[in-house]
Amino acid sequence: MASAKTDQTEALFSLESYHVSEELGFILPDPLQELPPYYQPWMDIALKIPELAQSHELRSRINKMPLLSSKFLQKHKELRLAHLALTMMTMGYVWEEGEKDTVEILPRSLAVPYWEVSQRLGLPPIITHADAVLANWKRKDPDGNLELLVSLPGGESARGFFLVTLLVELAGVPAVKNIPTVINGVRCGDTEAVARGLEIISRSIEDMTDALKLMQVHVDPSVFYGIMRIYLSGWKDNPCMPNGLVYEGVQAAPMRYSGGSAAQSSLLHCFDELLGVKHDPKSASFLIYMRDYMPPLHKKLINDISLQPSLRSFVQQQDCKDLNNVFDLCVKKLLALRSYHINVVSRFITVPAARARQLRDQNHNSDGEMISRAPTALEERGTGGSNKRYIAVRGKQRNKTSQLNCHHRGTASHANQIKPPEKSTLMTFRTISLIFKRIAFGRMKARGLF
């Protein structure tokens, strides 16, 4: 009997082998703030990217940078900080002069170590959610308030964009932690465990939506659209760089990579696989492609969740109203999160794009308007140059998700009724306080986060 019990314990689904933190989920715990002294030339430039880009000196500084070997980077956190620094330098180098003066070749001193570090981490040599958000934070004081390690042009809006996105990840931690509870409950036929896990996941997804609402307070849409967005853009399916980018010293042919995108967050992918969300073929293909921009173990977790016994089928087979209701609630909260994200896309991309077109059509002298600086080739594309189709995916998912469960009752009809809260409410940081209380993230004080 003891042996059988041991075998059963070993078979339990766990997050231990996926680089998922019990306290921080997919976020890298306590990222390094410094590299070994040998790599100081990288950090000297990376920490000054906004200033150097504004003065149009970034490319010249990188062109003078020595070629350093990556072999002295031994630990995972060293590799992550190196990748972050090289990533931000690359984005700054390519887009310093906007769409009018892009480059075709990334210099050897940047391209070679960037490629080597990328290969060791299993990440692409371009900005990803794993870099700019998951590994790009530090506590700025003993109370645990947050600051970025490395930033891009955009001032306080850039800072707010990355930190709010980090808060969305933090809000999702309880959900990630309870995925094994749900999976193991399904395996064992424990309806109470499944219902308990789904209830926590539902609350966590709601907290993610609340955290996302902070974007409207801490990010200026004109700054995001006019300055920041191009620095998140890639060189795949991008009219500004139709041929891609040559990584000098790596290979002669240009390479094409997509830029940073919310679709690279592992959270929603995990929820989709757990709840059995199905997308149309084109949308599904894009989302699966985005998994190549995640840390390999996070991608593996998503795949392994997809291989588990069907939660949806389990719920449908149970004669348990409470279980059906909590499953439906999870679907409803996920639908609400995606619906609110559509609002964010509209506010930060669609509306500014329309304003930019209006200014051009009127031959308006718009030098004073921030959105006039935005590249025309990227109008109505998502962060990282995501095409219109992905923005549309969000809309399609609302209806698709509402049809997941035969027990589902009326959630779709309320999806578009989500409205951004008043600014005065958001500025109290009450939402952040609730998030931190739930995940027990040290003694972090919400008021000083930004």
Binding residues: 341
Tokens of 345: 């896309």
Sequence ranges of the binding site for heme b: 341
C-alpha to C-alpha distance for 106 and 66, rounded to whole angstroms: 14
- Alpha-carbon distance of 83 to 293, in angstroms, equals 13
Cα–Cα dist 303/161, whole Å:
29
Bridge partners of 146, per DSSP, are 139
The alpha carbon dihedral of 331, 269, 282, 416 has a sign of positive
Residues 193, 320: contact at Cβ < 8 Å? Answer: no
Q: What φ, ψ does residue 378 adopt, rounded to 5°?
A: -105, 15
